[in-house]
Amino acid sequence: MVRDIRFSVIVLMFMQVLISSTAPAAPQIQYRVEAEDGAALALSEPQLPDISGYNENAVNERVKHAREAASRGAVVQVRRIFGEVTMDDFTIGERAREWAARQYSNPQAIFLKSGFFTMAQLWQQLDRREYLERLADGTYIARLPVVVEAGATLLMDAGESLYLSQQRGSFLVVSGTLITRSAKVVGWNEQLKAPARYQRASQFRPFLVSWGGSELYLLNSEFISLGYEQSKSYGITVSQYRHEINRTLKQPSPKAWIIGSTFEDIYYGFYCYETVGAVVLNNRYVDNIVYGIDPHDRSSELIIGHNEVYGTHKKHGIIVSREVNDSWIFNNVSHHNQLSGFVLDRSSVGNVVANNVAHHNLSDGITLYESSDNLLWANRVYANDKHGIRMRNSKNIRLYHNNVAGNKGFGVYGDVQDLSDTDRDNHMDPYEARVSMILYGGSLVANERGPFSMEQPEFMKIFNVDIRFGSEPLNPNNDGIFARFHSEILDILLRQKQAVSVTPIPQENS
């Protein structure tokens, strides 16, 4: 009873502040505010994918299967990289000069042609120190690119380290199978005898790319100082081949399980392109450069769960962008990143973002840009420097049972924007300037600019949301339609205990 009285007093204070403030200019669109049955808005908790099969035992089974499937002997070759489909992206234009300058010769690579290799077997069979050196502590230094071809498997096992020489232009390409178990892969500066720490985007650093038809299993391993600003060279990349290549190859989507590993000082901690069903579970992404986790173009059915992402230097912790659809992002913690904790971008639809935590990011906690029909369920979003949850040009966004507190902007903010004066390619990334949402359950607590703001929505529904303010003087600068309809909205929510429905009034033709 006491709590109800206190809450009513707070609501009255909130209304008085709004009423006494200067009224905004009347919007072009006229709206009606109505009560409706909140029960009709209820949703069942989303069913998240079963992740019990993605574990050490399952990876060990893959190792066993790969050994047994190696019908041919292990064959390794050193040959030129030109004309090799796996190396095509890296020999276009000026990129070929990079390898020639670093190798002091016509560029070559180590090709694992067939069979099953451990690191020791590869080193013994190659027997060329200038290509692959083994140090006294068991660390291997690769001084050429290493290519695991279709039909070959490379296993890096517990305690093994592979250092990829920055000076000699080494990197790792997979079109067969790569498995790491409690191993380490490091971009290595041989001059400094230290990891090849990021200096600038254009500076070559070793990287790993896994192509269409490949299998990549990274288990309980460490990856340090990889990647730079060149196509498919971002650090850890899982990608289908370019369309003009795959019309001939007809390779299926690459397969990737990334489990229980640590990624540090990677240009993009994880990047995928046209990948179906990749699994990214229980990893730590710390102090990476542009993004922590960045699935991209036309990837789907991804499982991104139980990861911690923090300290991203330039942009977001976790972002999915350009038609990354029907995926699950759940039980992750994304914090202290340069921009947002989580982002859904460029027509990424049908995704479930559930049970995540976003805090102390320098932009929003969760951002949706031009990405409709997504469900945000039971996320905790607090202490971010801008809005808790932001939606731009995104419709039918369902916000259910999210707890949003102590953000410097609004708790929930939605708007429409005309992006025609930006460098956006509207043919590649079309969008509609439309926004709408359902806000159901959860709480909006002590967000500095106010609990919510919505500009020009197609519709907006709110039900059973706990709206509270902190001990500081109230300054709820609610923009958009809420500044006009605060009395009606609060009456329906608090006194009538029904759902609020805000919809445009159809305009008659003059």
Are the C-beta atoms of residues 79 and 109 closer than 8 Å to each other?
yes
Crossing angle of helices 2-20 and 482-490, in 10° steps, is: 150
Q: DSSP 3-state assignment of 265?
A: strand
Give the integer Cα–Cα distance in Å for 145 and 172.
Answer: 6
What averages of pLDDT result for each successive group of 10 residues across the chain (510 residues)? 40 38 53 96 98 98 94 91 96 91 95 98 96 96 98 97 99 99 99 98 99 99 99 98 96 99 99 99 99 98 99 99 99 99 98 99 99 99 99 98 98 91 77 95 95 92 88 48 82 95 83
Please name which of 303, 201, 301, 312 lies closest in space to residue 257, comparing C-alpha atoms: 303
Please name which of 263, 267, 143 lies closest in space to residue 205, comparing C-alpha atoms: 267
Beta partners for 397? 437
Indicate the CATH number for domain 70-305.
2.160.20.10
Please name which of 445, 360, 380, 376 lies closest in space to residue 414, comparing C-alpha atoms: 376
* Residue 4: predicted pLDDT: 44
The residue written with tokens 């540090």 in the block is 264
pLDDT tens track for 3-61: 443 444 344 334 333 333 333 444 468 999 999 999 999 999 999 999 999 999 999 99
Are the C-beta atoms of residues 114 and 71 closer than 8 Å to each other?
no
Enter the tokens of residue 88. 């095509």
- Provide φ and ψ at 62, rounded to 5°: -65, -40
pLDDT tens track for 457-492: 999 999 999 998 754 444 444 457 777 788 899 899
* Residue 24: predicted pLDDT: 42
DSSP E strands, 21-74: 31-36
Enter the tokens of residue 4. 């109800």
Please, what is the Cα angle at 177 between 68 and 264, to 5 degrees? 135
Return the CA Rg of the chain: 26
Give the integer Cα–Cα distance in Å for 309 and 352.
Answer: 18
Looking at the annotation, which residues are catalytic?
Answer: 296
Please name which of 260, 189, 265 lies closest in space to residue 234, comparing C-alpha atoms: 265
* Residue 510: predicted pLDDT: 47
Show me where the domains of the chain are located.
1-51+351-510, 70-305
Cα dihedral 164, 166, 167, 168 sign:
positive
Cα dihedral 142, 146, 152, 155 sign:
positive
Count of residues in the chain: 510
Buried b / exposed e across 2-18, counting CB within 10 Å, b at 16+?
Answer: eeeeeeeeebeebeebb
Are the C-beta atoms of residues 340 and 317 closer than 8 Å to each other?
yes
* Residue 479: predicted pLDDT: 59
CB atoms within 10 A of CB 359: 19
The residue written with tokens 């009395």 in the block is 487
pLDDT tens track for 108-132: 999 999 999 999 999 999 999 999 9
Enter the tokens of residue 203. 């500076």
Cα dihedral 190, 192, 196, 199 sign:
negative
* Residue 435: predicted pLDDT: 97
| DSSP β-ladder status, 436-440 and 366-369 | unpaired
Beta partners for 188? 165, 195
| DSSP β-ladder status, 172-174 and 146-148 | parallel
Enter the tokens of residue 297. 């173009």
Are the C-beta atoms of residues 365 and 388 closer than 8 Å to each other?
yes
The residue written with tokens 């039909």 in the block is 151
Q: CA–CA distance from 114 to each of 71, 123, 124 (Å)?
A: 9, 15, 16
